């Protein structure tokens, strides 16, 4: 950090001056020092990976040296396949900085000169620093943390192309295509729905924002969540240089979880939220951990086998599976990096421009990949996973349908006959009932708990495809979601069966409920 840096500044500045001058080096041991590029500083001492920048920015240097960026050159050589085409992304040069490839590594003519610019050093991201060290200040560019869609700057200038299409996949993912939430309610933009809001939660450093002031979405660069939000550019403490972790054992861990940080907002049905006509918002993490939805007290302690909650690296294990996408003849076409964040992505070897992601409308369950689920430690095969997926979603959908069928697909519970099921019917009756006796209203005398309000919360949280719920239709925690919905149906039947025109539970759902209740008892 610079606070430490400033104290060392005088010493370090002298050192920097010394390295750039020939006189610093022992006359006897060395021939003429390699000529430095006019713009890029590169290494101060290549053999110890001491960058010139790191002479002053001591703490960043120490962190960076532990990252894979610092061994990009050695790893490249170790392949035995290194050729000139590889250098652009495994060295420090102008080509990855909206510049020409005639700077840094590419400009150096001797081996000793090239050595100064091996690896992905500071300037590979921050741009050339010669001007900065001649007058240190806040002039050094903070790298573009918003995606540049031409792959000429920022992380995407190397992390792209068929072998590493992180940028391409992110660009077509929901994270990359988020609608513009600028100007929306304060908490939406400040927490999760704009990159600067999310950065202020996850990486609260004012410097990261200087590049775009307070509103990145007015720039022509790609908004949405970007690489440096989830990845720490300098710090390799966590795997994959993640800022937060992927492991969790309880809902309380969400604050430190790379996905739970956002995907666990207002999840549980507490004393007031079950009244809400909206569901638990972004409830995936809490569903996985078994705390989302309205938990009726009569359910007691739900201690089922929440297998999906204990999946190693939780969300990423399912949502970020990676692997090659091959053509029909088996030849490599493009690498799936998992940065669509989709469990069941539609992949197509011809879709190289979008990192192998088939963005066409023809994408249906039949051509989605179940590879993430069909690994040896999980489901035995992709087809086994597909069956389990269909079974669970079908069963959960069956329960939800008793409570609510969203006939007009607007993710809102509308009164019968616009929607059907028990809740729309109660809503219809509510219209003619006196204040204080309405089952689904949340105003005036009707703010007390009713079985219908708890059921509504669960139907919306687990049964709605909209993004205010869980969205997995039970897959995140089948046993738990099943228990909550079955209980909601039972409570509804007890509370209203005699007074309203509620239809019986369809036989197929009834037998599923009997099986579910039996399972509940045995665990
Ligand atoms: C001679 C010492 C020195 C060297 C070498 C140096 N810097 Fe700096 N750097 C500074 C000082 C001093 C500041 C200003 C600190 C401030 O104003 O908070 C600064 C600011 C920065 C900032 C802005 C940080 C902020 O908090 O606003 C970045 C980014 C940066 N330097 C990166 C680099 C990079 C990359 C290199 C190598 C090309 C480099 N620096 C080399 C001394 C140095
Ligand atoms: C367009 C930029 C780019 C080019 C060109 C490029 N690489 Fe890379 N390379 C990357 C990136 C980005 C990674 C990091 C990928 C990751 O961690 O998943 C990487 C990682 C690697 C690794 C480490 C992989 C590992 O499993 O640890 C090796 C080895 C490698 N590249 C070899 C090569 C070779 C050989 C060439 C030339 C034939 C080459 N690269 C050309 C961007 C590039
Ligand atoms: C992989 C790209 C990348 C590399 C390599 C890199 N940086 Fe950064 N750096 C960034 C990004 C992105 C930010 C803004 C986000 C943040 O602060 O976390 C940043 C922020 C900074 C800052 C200001 C905030 C802070 O963390 O103090 C300084 C200073 C800095 N970098 C110096 C360096 C130095 C020195 C090196 C080399 C030893 C280096 N960086 C290597 C991408 C990089
Ligand atoms: C100049 C090209 C270049 C740029 C710019 C670049 N990277 Fe990399 N990155 C690489 C290469 C090459 C590797 C593989 C190094 C190796 O394994 O030898 C890599 C590896 C990584 C890894 C793998 C770490 C691990 O532990 O597996 C992460 C994460 C990463 N980069 C993130 C970023 C982010 C975030 C940025 C932007 C802030 C960025 N990179 C900018 C070339 C680049
Ligand atoms: C929403 C968060 C998020 C964003 C945004 C994101 N990543 Fe990642 N990335 C992850 C997670 C989580 C992992 C670890 C996945 C795992 O362990 O299976 C990862 C893994 C990686 C790796 C290591 C892959 C390997 O070979 O092990 C690289 C490299 C990487 N990301 C680069 C990028 C780049 C470049 C961008 C921007 C184009 C980016 N990421 C955007 C979350 C993110
Ligand atoms: C900074 C907050 C944030 C983080 C961190 C984050 N997400 Fe998201 N995610 C969002 C937002 C906001 C959306 C909804 C974007 C939209 O549709 O407008 C979203 C959408 C998604 C979607 C698509 C949902 C849909 O309806 O299609 C998936 C899947 C997803 N995220 C998974 C993950 C995973 C896995 C991680 C961790 C690696 C993660 N997210 C980390 C904020 C975040
Ligand atoms: C056991 C594998 C698994 C785990 C672990 C998992 N998910 Fe999911 N997730 C799924 C499946 C399967 C779906 C349903 C996908 C579909 O219907 O397209 C899903 C759906 C989603 C959706 C809605 C996507 C959409 O297209 O509407 C989001 C968002 C999401 N998950 C985020 C997360 C987050 C965040 C985590 C970690 C807290 C997580 N998931 C953990 C398998 C998993």
Cα 194 to Cα 3, 67, 183, 329: the distances in Å are 29, 28, 10, 42
Residue 55 CA, closest ligand 1 atom number: 5
Q: Are strands 43-45 and 50-51 parallel, antiparallel or unpaired?
A: antiparallel
- What are the CB-based long-range contacts (under 8 Å, 24+) for 55-59? 55/12, 55/15, 55/16, 55/19, 56/5, 56/8, 56/9, 56/12, 56/13, 56/16, 56/133, 56/136, 57/2, 57/5, 57/122, 58/4, 58/5, 58/8, 58/12, 59/1, 59/4, 59/5
The helix or strand, by DSSP H or E, that contains position 336, with its residue range, turns out to be: strand 332-336
CA-wise closest residue to 458 among 498, 404, 406:
404
Nearest-CA residue for atom 40 of ligand 3: 122
Residue pair 179/192 in contact (Cβ under 8 Å)? The answer is no
Spell out which residues line ligand 4, taking CB within 6 angstroms.
68-69, 71-72, 75, 89-90, 96, 120, 124-125, 143, 155, 157-159, 227-228, 231, 233, 240-241
Q: Tell me what percent of the residues of the chain surpass a pLDDT of 70.
A: 74
Give residue for tokens 């929607």. 419
CA-wise closest residue to 472 among 304, 286, 328, 329:
286
Nearest-CA residue for atom 2 of ligand 5: 230
Residue 129 CA, closest ligand 1 atom number: 38
* Residue 160 Cβ contacting ligand 5 at under 6 Å: no
CB-based contacts of 372, cutoff 8 Å, min separation 6? 317, 318, 319, 320, 321, 343, 344
Report phi then psi at 357, rounded to 5. Answer: -85, 125
Which listed ligand is nearest to 210 at the C-alpha? 1
Q: Are strands 323-326 and 50-51 parallel, antiparallel or unpaired?
A: unpaired
Nearest-CA residue for atom 9 of ligand 7: 472
Nearest-CA residue for atom 30 of ligand 7: 284
* Residue 325 Cβ contacting ligand 5 at under 6 Å: no
For residue 347, the cross-strand partners are 357
CA of 476 to the centre of ligand 7 (A): 6
Instruction: Give rounded-to-5 percent helix, strand, coil for the chain.
Output: 45, 5, 50
Residue 240 CA, closest ligand 5 atom number: 23
pLDDT grade, residue 142 (50/70/90)? low
pLDDT, tens only, 399-425: 999 999 999 988 889 999 999 888 998
Burial zone of 353 (CB within 10 Å; 0-12 exposed, 13-18 middle, 19+ buried): middle
Nearest-CA residue for atom 10 of ligand 1: 136
Residue pair 92/44 in contact (Cβ under 8 Å)? The answer is no
Q: What is the structure's pLDDT at 226?
A: 82
Q: What is the structure's pLDDT at 267?
A: 56
pLDDT, tens only, 167-220: 999 988 988 887 666 555 556 656 677 776 777 778 766 555 545 444 444 444
**Could you tell which of 175, 225, 314, 471 is best to mutate to test the pocket of ligand 6, judged by most ligand atoms within 8 Å of the CB?**
175
* Residue 52 Cβ contacting ligand 3 at under 6 Å: no
End-to-end CA distance of the chain: 52
* Residue 496 Cβ contacting ligand 5 at under 6 Å: no
Give residue for tokens 């077509």. 172
Is the whole-model pTM more than 0.85?
A: yes
pLDDT, tens only, 20-73: 433 333 445 556 677 889 899 999 999 999 999 999 999 999 999 999 999 999
Cα Rg of the chain (Å, integer): 28
């Amino acid at each position: 950090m610079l606070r430490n840096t400033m104290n060392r500044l005088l010493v370090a500045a002298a050192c920097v001056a010394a390295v750039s001058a020939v006189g610093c080096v022992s006359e006897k041991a060395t021939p003429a020092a390699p000529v430095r590029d006019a713009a890029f500083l590169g290494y101060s001492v290549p053999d110890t990976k001491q960058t010139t920048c790191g002479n002053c920015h001591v703490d960043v240097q120490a962190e960076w040296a532990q990252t894979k960026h610092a061994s990009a050159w050695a790893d490249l050589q170790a392949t035995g396949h290194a050729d000139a085409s590889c250098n652009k992304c495994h060295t420090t040069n102008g080509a990855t900085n909206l510049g020409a490839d005639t700077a840094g590594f590419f400009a150096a003519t001797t081996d000793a000169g090239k050595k100064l610019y091996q690896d992905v050093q500071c300037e590979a991201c921050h741009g050339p620093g010669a001007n900065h060290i001649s007058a240190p200040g806040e002039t050094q560019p903070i790298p573009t943390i918003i995606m540049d869609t031409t792959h000429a700057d920022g992380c995407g200038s190397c992390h792209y192309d068929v072998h590493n299409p992180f940028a391409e996949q992110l660009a077509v993912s929901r994270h990359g295509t988020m609608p513009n939430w600028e100007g929306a309610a304060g908490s939406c933009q400040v927490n999760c729905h704009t990159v600067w809001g999310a950065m202020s939660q996850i990486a609260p450093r004012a410097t990261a924002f200087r590049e775009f002031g307070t509103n990145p979405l007015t720039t022509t660069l790609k908004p949405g969540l970007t690489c440096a939000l989830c990845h720490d550019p300098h710090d390799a403490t966590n795997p994959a240089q993640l800022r937060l972790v992927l492991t969790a054992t309880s809902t309380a861990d969400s604050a430190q979880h790379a996905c739970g940080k956002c995907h666990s907002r207002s999840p549980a049905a507490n004393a007031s939220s079950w009244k809400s006509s909206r569901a638990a918002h972004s409830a995936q993490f809490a569903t996985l951990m078994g705390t989302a939805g309205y938990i009726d007290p009569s359910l007691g302690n739900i201690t089922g086998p929440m297998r999906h909650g204990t999946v190693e690296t939780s969300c990423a294990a399912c949502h970020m599976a990676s692997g090659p996408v091959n053509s029909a003849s088996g030849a490599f076409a493009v690498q799936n990096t998992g940065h669509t964040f989709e469990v069941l992505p539609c992949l197509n070897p011809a879709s190289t421009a979008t990192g192998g992601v088939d963005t066409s409308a023809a994408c249906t369950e039949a051509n989605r990949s179940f590879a993430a689920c069909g690994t040896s430690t999980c489901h035995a095969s992709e087809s086994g996973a597909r069956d389990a997926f269909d079974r669970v979603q079908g069963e959960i959908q069956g329960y939800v349908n008793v409570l609510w069928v969203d006939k007009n697909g607007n993710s809102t519970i509308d009164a019968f006959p616009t929607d059907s099921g028990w809740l729309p019917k109660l809503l219809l009756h509510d219209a003619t009932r006196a204040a204080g006796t309405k089952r689904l209203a949340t105003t005036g005398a009707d703010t007390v708990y009713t079985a219908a309000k708890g059921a509504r919360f669960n139907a919306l949280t687990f049964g709605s495809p909209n993004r205010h719920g869980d969205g997995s239709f039970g897959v995140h925690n089948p046993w738990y979601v099943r228990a909550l919905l079955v209980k909601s149906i039972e409570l509804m039947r007890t509370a209203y069966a005699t007074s309203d025109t509620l239809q019986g539970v369809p036989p197929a759902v009834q037998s599923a409920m009997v099986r579910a209740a039996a399972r509940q008892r045995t665990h």
